[in-house]
Amino acid sequence: MDLRALGLYLHVPFCIGKCRYCDFLSFPAPAWAQEAYWAALLRELELRGGEYAAYEVVSVFIGGGTPSLAPGEWIAELMERIRERFRLADGAEVTIEGNPGTADGEKFAAYRAAGVNRLSIGLQSALDEELRLLGRAHTFRQFEEAYRAAREAGFRNVNVDLMSALPGQSRAAYQKTLRAVLDLEPLPEHISAYSLIVEEGTPFGELLRKGELSLPDEDTDRQMYADTARELQKKGFRRYEVSNYARAGYECRHNCGCWQRREYAGFGLGAASLVRNVRFSNTRDLAAYLEMFGKGREGGAKARRGIRGAQGGSGEAAKGFRGAQGGSGEAEKGIHGAERDLGETEESFREAVQELTQAEQMEEFMFLGLRLTEGVSSRQFRETFHVELPDIYGRVLERSRKEGLLRLDSVEARTAGETADLRIRLTDRGVDLSNYVLARFLL
C-alpha cells in the first residue's frame, strides 16, 4: 500500500508568562491543569489516530507555548502513543520547542531518549535589556546554559530563534545578537530570524495604538534583514525560506512540508490541520477541550470559569486558575471521571472547517511555495491542478518580472518524455516586498 506523507503537530499551550509581543495560543497554568491537558492530548491521539491509517508520519513538531515545561516522562509517553497509533517513518524528524530556563541536561537527555532528534530554542535576543523589554523569562546566560546542556545531551540538530526590528533596537544592537549566536560552539544547524510583527491584542499592540511604541524605520528593518543573510552566509548558512537559514541538510523538514502543502494533522488546543484539502482547527476553548478528550464533563465545566480567566491573559491567569482550583478536587475528579465517546461531540471541538476550492489551492501553492528560495515549479503546478501555470497567473508573472520582483528561469526537460519546466522565484527585492508580491496571487 502506498502511504501518504503526513506531518504531526502537537500543541502545548502552557508557558511561564506571556511575552509582550505574543499572540499565540499560550498562557500560564497550574500543575493540575497541565496534567489534565496532557492526559487529554494523549486521549485525542488515541481516539483520532485511526483516521490516518493510510499515512506515514514523516515529521513531528511539538510546539507551544513552551513544551519544554513538560517532564521527560511526559514526552516519552507522548512519543510512545504516537508510535502506537501512527506509522512513524524511520528517520522521521521530531522537533520540540524549548525556552531557556525551563529545561536542563537531564530533561534534554530524556527527550533524546524518547526519540526527539531536533530542538528549537527561543532566544530572540542576546541582550538582556532587550529580553526584558520583550517580556522574555530568561537571560542570555540561561540561553547559553540551555544550549550547552542540549549539546551535551546529544542533540545534533538545533535551531535558534532570533528576532529583529525590536522597539528601540539599533542596527548595531542587532549585530551584537548575530555575533553572539555565530560565536556559539558548535554552531547551530539552523537559525530562524524574524522581524517583529506587532499584533493587535498584545501589550505591544496596545502601546503602538497609543503611539507609545518606537519601532525601527523600514530602511533599518531591511538593513537588519540584509545583515542576517550576509553574516549567516559567511558561516555556511543558506537562506532556504524568507526567514529561515540552515547549514547543508538541516532545513526544517516539518516546516518545508507545510510550505509545500504536504498534509498535516494537528492535535491539542487550537491545533490546525490540512487533510485532503480540508482545513480545520481544534477548539481554542481549554475547558471544552478537556471535556471532549478528558474523562468527564462535570469537572471540566466547574473549571471552565477559571480556565477561561487564565486564557484571557497572564494578568488574570493566576487569579482565574486559583478560582478553578478552589474546587480543584472536584474539578480534577470530573476531568478524570467517566470516559466519553468522541463521536458524540466531534463538531464541538472542530472550528473553521473549510474545504478548499481549486482556486484556493492554487493560491496557497503559489504564496506558500514562493516563500522558499527554490520557488515553485510550473511542472508541479500542472501535475497538481491539470492546468498550465501561465494560463492562470501569466499577467501577474510578467508584471512582477518586469518590476524586478520575480525571476522566471526555464529548466530544460531531463528526459525525452518530460516537458520543460519554469521555475519561479522571488528576487532579493521581491523578498523585501514579499507580502506585497504574494498578495498578487490571490485569485
Topology of the domain covering 358-439: Arc Repressor Mutant, subunit A (1.10.10)
pTM of the entire structure?
A: 0.89
Q: Mean pLDDT in each 10-residue stretch from start to end of the chain (443 residues)?
A: 94 96 95 95 96 97 97 98 98 97 96 98 98 97 98 98 98 98 98 97 96 96 96 97 97 97 97 96 94 64 52 41 35 33 51 93 97 96 96 96 95 67 95 93 93
Distance of CA 259 to the CA centre of its chain: 12
At residue 418, the pLDDT reads: 63
Which residues is 164 bridged to in the sheet?
A: 195
CATH 3.20.20.70 domain locations along the chain: 4-266
C-alpha cell at 64: 507551544
How far from 393 is each of 10, 359, 421, 427, 440, CA to CA, in Å?
A: 36, 11, 15, 18, 9
At residue 309, the pLDDT reads: 53
CATH 1.10.10.10 domain locations along the chain: 358-439
What is the CATH code of the structural domain delimited by 4-266? 3.20.20.70
